[in-house]
Structure 1
Amino acid sequence: MPTALLHRSDQGPSAGPAAAPRRRTRILALAEARWAAAATVAFLVALPLQLAGTPSWLWGALYAVAYVAGGWEPALAGLRALRAKTLDVDLLMIVAALGAASIGQVMDGALLIVIFATSGALEALATARTADSVRSLLDLAPTTATRVADGGGEESVDTAELMVGDVILVRPGERVGADGEVLEGASDVDQATITGEPMPVAKEAGDDVFAGTLNGAGALRVRVGRDASDSVIARIVAMVEEASETKAPTQLFIEKVEQRYSLGMVVATLAVFAVPQALGDDLTGALLRAMTFMIVASPCAVVLATMPPLLSAIANAGRHGVLVKSAIVMERLGQVDAVAVDKTGTLTEGTPQVTTVHALPGSGLTDDTLLALAAAAEHRSEHPLARAVVSAARARGLDLPPVTHFASTPGVGVSATVGGADVQVGAPAQLLETGPSGDPADAASREVRLLARQLGEDGQTAVLVLHDGFPAGVLGIADRLRPDAATTVTALRSLTGTTPMLLTGDNAQAAARVAAEVGIEDVRAGLLPQDKVAAVREAECAGRKILVIGDGVNDAPALAAAHTGIAMGRAGSDLALETADAVIVRDELATVPRVIALSRRARGLVIQNLVIAGTFIAVLVTWDLAGTLPLPLGVLGHEGSTVVVGLNGLRLLREGAWRDADA
């Protein structure tokens, strides 16, 4: 089975003309998948023809196609391994299949070939998707930038040519071409791809900006502070690749087991063939006993003992909106004993919402009137906060007055004539300094500052509304908590025995507010991607198998570094979706503890099935070695064990299995 990470790239706020193109390798574009598909089709056509009693040459030719299509690549890989003086399961499977065919059990051999070819195709797909996602992430950063010469001239250059100290011009709506510091200008920059913050951040001279983030309505002059190879985006790519490679020891362990098993099977089969001849048995009898041994000791039953419970759990989780990308991931989910969650877009919905409307007593306005005036003034703005205000007014069914003379000032807010009155909406600090009533001693101004400070401490963004130059009221805007966030945290605490920790790039006040609402005590705010990875590795060094739940590009390195990663699917970034081992398609956070519980049930069934399969194999092998096991009975026992473990594993397809996991 594949162990490589799956990846995807880009994020909702980055959508639009400047968004990175999406690259997803389709499975049939891979040669391994096409060969596996050909082998499967040939097998599925041959089997009913054989059962129907058609001429043997017809179904025999189709089985031969299945052998060749699905077997040539593992056979070649096995021979190459043999040349390197190693013996692996690739070669063992081919030998077992050919051995079965040599004594007339063509269908058994073809089934082994089909199973093995399908596994190889899935591994090839995982590897291809990994490369896709890394390329897509690099596409977040623009390939060209406008460099400003010393004399003031402008030229378009490749971002790879930018040197530390160069000055670039970032026009409205463009992506920032390099990590650096703002020299001139003011704008709102959407940097959710880096920090995960749900709302654009005001930038002015002296502030840092990151390559790949999206500029708002203002123009910025930025001095380049890092080479392209050392940008935050480039470091994210490096961390994803590094985390992918850290999973290799598990694969090395599997290869060691395969080597020992393969060597043991070869030695045992040769012994079964040679010893009877030494004791006087004829060549045909010895060959028949050896081939019977090869069939009854075949790992086919063991493979099927493992896969049906995990695949059934995957199918059941998929019906309920959780995409688990492989059987290995489903098994790993059940091992989780610690959880780390992102805030924006994970515990919260990821979109700004008006949470507070407070009209000042001296304004003569009601809360609804205040909101209607603000929404009318913001109606023409594309700022996310403006959209939140307009949505709140519409949700209350308010009529918006007519608007004229609309203007937007980056970093400050908007102004307009609404119903004959001058209305300004924006940041309290800027409006109180520039508005006609900006006297700090003014009672209304003091009340606004107090409200803004209280809202900030509560994790909300304060927005001031001026009516004819007088402070009329304050709106509080925050990212709304998901309805099932608190119950999910409680369930995860019950499952793992530890309270989840919160990892976010947002500010400490907003993080503390959300953590208090859901019952999280371990809060780490203001984190860049590398800081989240450090927190994950700290938990792993303490012996924890940590699950990370996130949605943004900034979460991707942590998702890759974790024991298991789950991404929110509806608003999740492409890279997070590809990097994660599982995706919550409908953003129902409560499904996370359910799929963990389902995984634990699947792992329990895997153990049951391995015991059943191992018992069948042990009995049949002992019978073949100690007595005379008739070939038909050996085949019946072998296939019977496969049916038993298969049906046992399919129990998790029932709807009741999901309800039991919920309980």
Structure 2
Amino acid sequence: MTSTLTAPAPPAGRTDPTAPRRRTRILALPEARWALAALVLFLIALPLDLLGAPAWAWGPLYAAVYATGGWEPGWEGCKALRDKTLDVDLLMVVAALGAAAIGQVLDGALLIVIFATSGALEAIATARTADSVRGLLDLAPPTATRLSPDGDETTVAAEELTVGDVILVRPGERIGADGRVLAGESEVDQATITGEPLPVAKQAEDEVFAGTVNGTGALRVRVERDPSDSVIARIVRMVEEASETKAPTQLFIEKIEQRYSVGMVIATVAVFAIPLALGDELRSALLRAMTFMIVASPCAVVLSTMPPLLSAIANAGRHGVLAKSAVVMERLGQVDTVALDKTGTLTEGTPHLTDLRPLAGAGLTDEALLALAAAAEHPSEHPLARAIVGAARERRLTLADAVDFASVPGQGVRATVDGHTVHVGSPARLLPAAAVAAHAVVRELEEAGRTAMLVLRDGSPVGVLGVADRLRPDAAATVAALTELTGRPPVLLTGDNERAAERLAAEVGITDVHAGLLPQDKVAAVRGWERQGRNVLVVGDGVNDAPALAAAHCGVAMGRAGSDLALETADAVVVRDELATIPSVVRLSRTARRLVIQNLVIAGVFITVLVAWDLIGTLPLPIGVAGHEGSTVVVGLNGLRLLRETAWRKPPGDAG
């Protein structure tokens, strides 16, 4: 990513936002070094052999090819054999040595070179997948400026910061740790964490994240998370853990691999022994058996599953969706029913002021009513109070000081403002029965799906405020995309009242609404669909939706910048809180599943054709080697297609 803030020489703690993503050097991988050495030696030996040079000129070179390209897989295969496991790598080395034993030295060397090259490609693919995730760590600066209690500045390594430390973040610097602003005002570009396209204003008590870019103001930040537990670090850790898991398809393949390999060895012995018993020459029978062992090996089958799924996990991780395992990535593509929570999922989860209704006879304008209510609510930490105070700040209203503040749970707040006693709270608790006009306004707002808040001045109603959660801007596009993917519109599961739920559902195109649900009711609904044979995806905010997330075929939590509960509960987490990533990751999973099937078909066709050719006719060993190893390379590269940026597609209508 790039930043609009530039500096000729970044000070301590500042990193270049345009720095390239970390990338493992190919020759840093042992598999790549051995494969390259084997290839170079083979290319030197080949022309000498073909041009009729004496054996002493090319023989040692071929021997070096066998040693450099076959040593590591042979050794690993022997260790597996010691554990009573038959490794296909060992079978390939045995086949190459068998070819050399009957005089096919060049063919055996070719097998070693191609086999080593395919192993190197697999290692490079794995490293690239890891790089794409670990590259997130480069967003965090290597150093930070720590402040002592006396105000002295010390440049320290970012990993040395501890909870409670105070750091100074200068304009243009990346923030060194997750924390909370103590002093200063600025705008922070936190698109790498939350996906927000515009910088976000930050002031005292606001949360900031490691790796985000400070704007034009200086900030003092108190560290609240150890650097090893920052949002970025947790993203990396979770995706790396996911990469170590195995999908059901892969587990099934590994389960039959051992039986297949043992059966292949028995078949190889039969392919050698039967023709020999029928009078075939020893060299011819052994060559046919070695060729059979090569082409029947399930290398391409074994490599069919994990590259597509791991590539999909890495790609999703780059876009802020953490699939906790390869199992989850495979399951996401199986869903045919989607259940969405309302608050915090379809909506932003933060209340906003929507209506200002001064009552006749109160003598207040809209702004005067808002200023009065905001002054009384200013000391409160309630979300509805923050919505009112935030609206007053947006309008740049001057708020009077409130004294004698008191908060009564279930009723609201009371304070003295400019000598008047002001109450702001629930109409059901505060509204006198005789206030007919106020009752009518409250009823009108509640029917429109708003939360009504009554304002009393010296015991008399002076106005009503309407507050509502705001629909996410990408909600309608997401619902349409999920409908297209699954063939049925998503279902709304919410604990909110039916009137408000149906109003919001109508705005986004949802027709099936289940409202007024307790957590156990959501679980019952999910299990009911599962009993009908559906694969249900539940998307929630990870708090009261936790039981439903756990009960579903797959659960996805809206992470709210990686909240602990969301990370622990769901199968996958939308760290950047973008709802539009849900259909994107489902589509990506389905693409991965298609590539797995493609790979299995490719591998199966190659093995079938080559084995039939060897048994029915005479398959030349070089063609068998090229066909078998070529199919392995094709399968591996096919799976890596999902690492490309173009593999991630957002739903139409989403501009995020």
TM class by smaller structure:
0.5 to 0.7
Instruction: Give distance in 1, aligned partners of 2:267 and 2:484.
Output: 48
Instruction: Give distance in 1, aligned partners of 2:77 and 2:494.
Output: 47
Tell me the equivalent position of 1:46.
34
Residues 216-295 of structure 1: matches in 2 within 5 Å? 257-258=256-257, 261-262=260-261, 264-281=263-280, 286-295=285-294
Instruction: Specify which of 549, 561, 567 is matched with residue 557 of structure 2.
Output: 567
**Deviation of residue 338 (structure 1)?**
1.4
Contact 2:493–2:514 (CA under 8 A) maintained in structure 1: yes
Name the SS of the counterpart of 1:471 in structure 2. Answer: strand
Q: 2:539 aligned with 1:549, yes or no?
A: yes
Q: 2:580 aligned with 1:590, yes or no?
A: yes
Residues 10-25 of structure 1: matches in 2 within 5 Å? none
**Deviation of residue 50 (structure 1)?**
2.9
Tell me the equivalent position of 2:428.
429
Change in Cα spacing, 1:59 to 1:48, as seen in structure 2 (3 Å) is farther
Aligned AA (1:452): V
Name the SS of the counterpart of 1:404 in structure 2. Answer: strand
Change in Cα spacing, 1:469 to 1:658, as seen in structure 2 (3 Å) is same
**Deviation of residue 364 (structure 1)?**
1.0
Tell me the equivalent position of 1:533.
523
Question: Structure 2: any 5+ residue segments left out of the alignment?
Answer: 1-27, 43-60, 99-107, 128-245
Name the SS of the counterpart of 1:91 in structure 2. Answer: coil
1:236-284 per-position Cα deviation (integer Å, ceiling 9, x unaligned): xxxxxxxxxxx99989866765576455434433322432332345666
Tell me the equivalent position of 2:19.
none
**Deviation of residue 380 (structure 1)?**
1.3
Aligned AA (1:47): A
Contact 2:380–2:386 (CA under 8 A) maintained in structure 1: yes
Q: 2:480 aligned with 1:485, yes or no?
A: no
Aligned AA (2:411): V
Instruction: Give distance in 2, aligned partners of 1:251 and 1:559.
Output: 25
Instruction: Give distance in 2, aligned partners of 1:506 and 1:651.
Output: 43
Contact 1:334–1:600 (CA under 8 A) maintained in structure 2: yes
Tell me the equivalent position of 2:362.
363
Instruction: Give distance in 2, aligned partners of 1:357 and 1:96.
Output: 78
1:52-89 per-position Cα deviation (integer Å, ceiling 9, x unaligned): 449877994796556656985x6576x3xxxxxxxxxx
Tell me the equivalent position of 2:207.
none
Contact 1:97–1:112 (CA under 8 A) maintained in structure 2: no
Tell me the equivalent position of 2:392.
393
Contact 1:612–1:645 (CA under 8 A) maintained in structure 2: yes
Q: 2:81 aligned with 1:91, yes or no?
A: no
Aligned AA (2:510): I
Q: 2:367 aligned with 1:383, yes or no?
A: no
Aligned AA (1:96): L
Instruction: Give distance in 1, aligned partners of 2:296 and 2:31.
Output: 22
Instruction: Give distance in 1, aligned partners of 2:126 and 2:277.
Output: 40
Change in Cα spacing, 1:584 to 1:325, as seen in structure 2 (3 Å) is same
Instruction: Give distance in 2, aligned partners of 1:290 and 1:580.
Output: 51
Name the SS of the counterpart of 1:554 in structure 2. Answer: coil
Contact 1:269–1:293 (CA under 8 A) maintained in structure 2: yes
Name the SS of the counterpart of 1:566 in structure 2. Answer: strand
Aligned AA (2:366): D
Change in Cα spacing, 1:591 to 1:43, as seen in structure 2 (3 Å) is same
Using the TM superposition, name which of 453-462 and 98-107 deviates more.
98-107
Change in Cα spacing, 1:392 to 1:520, as seen in structure 2 (3 Å) is same
Instruction: Give distance in 2, aligned partners of 1:351 and 1:76.
Output: 60
Question: Structure 1: any 5+ residue segments left out of the alignment?
Answer: 1-39, 80-89, 122-246, 433-437
Query: For the aligned residues, what is the CA RMSD?
Result: 4.0
Change in Cα spacing, 1:75 to 1:117, as seen in structure 2 (3 Å) is farther
Using the TM superposition, name which of 350-359 and 319-328 deviates more.
319-328
**Deviation of residue 493 (structure 1)?**
1.6
Change in Cα spacing, 1:43 to 1:622, as seen in structure 2 (3 Å) is same
Instruction: Give distance in 1, aligned partners of 2:278 and 2:468.
Output: 84
Instruction: Give distance in 2, aligned partners of 1:365 and 1:276.
Output: 104
Instruction: Give distance in 2, aligned partners of 1:249 and 1:656.
Output: 27
1:538-582 per-position Cα deviation (integer Å, ceiling 9, x unaligned): 112212222221221433343333233322233564344345343
Change in Cα spacing, 1:384 to 1:300, as seen in structure 2 (3 Å) is same
Q: How many percent identity over aligned positions?
A: 66
Contact 2:424–2:453 (CA under 8 A) maintained in structure 1: yes
Contact 1:93–1:112 (CA under 8 A) maintained in structure 2: no
1:557-609 per-position Cα deviation (integer Å, ceiling 9, x unaligned): 43333233322233564344345343333222223223333443444444443
Contact 2:550–2:570 (CA under 8 A) maintained in structure 1: yes
**Deviation of residue 42 (structure 1)?**
3.4
Instruction: Give distance in 1, aligned partners of 2:482 and 2:253.
Output: 30
Tell me the equivalent position of 1:497.
487
1:183-217 per-position Cα deviation (integer Å, ceiling 9, x unaligned): xxxxxxxxxxxxxxxxxxxxxxxxxxxxxxxxxxx
Name the SS of the counterpart of 1:362 in structure 2. Answer: coil
Change in Cα spacing, 1:611 to 1:58, as seen in structure 2 (3 Å) is closer
Change in Cα spacing, 1:404 to 1:579, as seen in structure 2 (3 Å) is closer
Instruction: Give distance in 2, aligned partners of 1:336 and 1:470.
Output: 55
1:418-438 per-position Cα deviation (integer Å, ceiling 9, x unaligned): 233222222223334xxxxx4
**Deviation of residue 611 (structure 1)?**
3.0
TM-score by length of 2: 0.63
Change in Cα spacing, 1:101 to 1:416, as seen in structure 2 (3 Å) is farther
Name the SS of the counterpart of 2:468 in structure 1. Answer: strand
Contact 1:349–1:479 (CA under 8 A) maintained in structure 2: yes
Contact 1:323–1:582 (CA under 8 A) maintained in structure 2: yes
Residues 147-546 of structure 1: matches in 2 within 5 Å? 257-258=256-257, 261-262=260-261, 264-281=263-280, 286-432=285-431, 438=432, 440-441=433-434, 443=435, 446-546=436-536
Instruction: Give distance in 1, aligned partners of 2:376 and 2:262.
Output: 77
Change in Cα spacing, 1:101 to 1:375, as seen in structure 2 (3 Å) is farther
Name the SS of the counterpart of 2:488 in structure 1. Answer: coil
Instruction: Give distance in 1, aligned partners of 2:621 and 2:449.
Output: 73
